[in-house]
Amino acid sequence: MRGERLSRKKGVSIEFADYREYAEGDDLRHFDWNVYARLENAVVRTYQDEEDLAVHLLLDRSASMSFGDPSKAQAARRFAAAFGHVALGAGDALFLVSLGTREAPAPPIRGRATYPKLVRRLSSDPPEGREGLARSLRAFAAGDARPGLAILLSDGLDPDIEAGVRALASRGHEVLFLQILSAVDLEPDLEGDLRLLDSETDGTVEITANSYALRGYQANLRAHQARIAEAVRRCGGRIATVRSEASVEDFLRTTGRREAWVVR
């Protein structure tokens, strides 16, 4: 989203850079008809100043995202659609990546016209991935994804999430982490003697849900968020936390502006 967003990349060139395979939504003005006529390969010319930005929408579809009313998954889809709309409008290559599942990566989409396709890809199937967020992030970083803007939409409830963030950054991605938390995460309303079952792992914890336990949970949550924020900022990224019931408009007006996700 050149010229429309803040980027760590600097400098622009008009020099021819390379050919690349045509992708749906590419500007036909850069389609090299000569190559197509001679070799029947659909390629487009790219220039250094016109290299499109790879926007990776990393959508957490692990089981923990199903909590909340509305669920964190619904909120994630909502925000993903919004960010995708902006990226497509800017002509960026948009990669939609599901985290926490074993789904194969989908090809990128470009151009405003592919927005309905994006919406379709944002499946409303209930999240049930049990792969682990950090593990998925590391796997993504280890793949051949083109470095670009990595927008992570997740609750971040993984003890190794910092490692995942660091893996993203080390691959050259600029990290934007929108942490989506529900009331279940922020103000758990538990009572009595419970055995807590982890929604993604087989882990259990036996607790007596009294004031001591709730205070301990809140302290752990605050510490965990602080660790995530520290990891993101160390990587030069940005992080914002929203509740699952928050609307995109509210985010753009308040948190997004405060955290410099949106520029006037």
Partner 1 sequence: MNLQNPGVLLALLPLAGFIVLLYLLKIRRKDLTVPATFLWPSRTDEVRANTLFQRLRFSWLLVLQLVALIALAFALARPLTRQAGLSGRVTVFVLDASAGMGATDVAPTRFDEGLRLVRDAVRAASTGDRMALIEAGPVPRVVFPLSTDPARQVAALESCRRYDAAADVGEALRLAAAVVANQESAQIVLLSDGAFDPPQNFAPGKAAVVYRSLGQTAENLAIVALGSSVTTEGRLAYCGVRNFGAAPAGTTLTIYADGRVLDSAKLLAKPGETTGRTVPVPAGVKAIEARLNPPDALVADDYAVTVTDPNAALRVLLVTQGDPFLERALSLDPRVTLDRAQAVPDSEQGATGPASTYDIVVFDGIAEEPVRSRGVLTLGVAGGPSPVRANGTVKNPIAVSAENHPILDGVDLRNVFIDSAQKVTPKATARTLSESSQTSLLVVDEGKQRRAYLAFRVLDSDFPLQVGFPIFVANVLDFLAGKAAADVLAVPAGSTFNLPADAADRPSLVVPSGRSLALKVEDGQARVRDLDRVGRYELRLGKTTKTLFASLRNERESNIAPVPSLSLGGGTVKAVATPVRYADFWRPLLLLGLLVLGAEWWLFARRS
Catalog residues that contact partner 1 under the rule CB under 8 A: 64, 67, 155, 157-159, 182, 184-185, 188, 190, 192-201, 203-208, 210-213, 216-217, 220-221, 224
Classify residue 30 by burial, with Cβ atoms within 10 Å: 0-12, 13-18, 19+.
middle
* Closest distance to partner 1 from the beta carbon of 61 (Å): 14
Closer of 69 and 198 to partner 1 (Cβ):
198
Place of tokens 């009595």: 192
Closer of 20 and 227 to partner 1 (Cβ):
227
Output the CA torsion sign for 202, 226, 179, 209. positive
* Closest distance to partner 1 from the beta carbon of 110 (Å): 35
Closer of 70 and 147 to partner 1 (Cβ):
70
* Closest distance to partner 1 from the beta carbon of 175 (Å): 21
Buried b (16+ CB within 10 A) or exposed e, 116-140: ebbeebbeeeebebebbbbebbbbb
* Closest distance to partner 1 from the beta carbon of 1 (Å): 32
Contact status, residue 118 vs residue 82, Cβ threshold 8 Å? no
Closer of 61 and 110 to partner 1 (Cβ):
61
* Closest distance to partner 1 from the beta carbon of 220 (Å): 4
| Tokens read off for 28 | 């036909």
Ramachandran angles phi, psi of 157, nearest 5°: -85, 70
* Closest distance to partner 1 from the beta carbon of 191 (Å): 10
Q: CB-hemisphere CA count at 13 Å for 83?
A: 30
- For 6-63, where are the E strands, in sequence order? 16-21, 43-47, 54-60
Closer of 36 and 217 to partner 1 (Cβ):
217
* Closest distance to partner 1 from the beta carbon of 165 (Å): 17
Query: CB within 8 A of 147, min separation 6: which ones?
Result: 54, 171, 172, 173
Closer of 24 and 198 to partner 1 (Cβ):
198
Closer of 161 and 169 to partner 1 (Cβ):
161
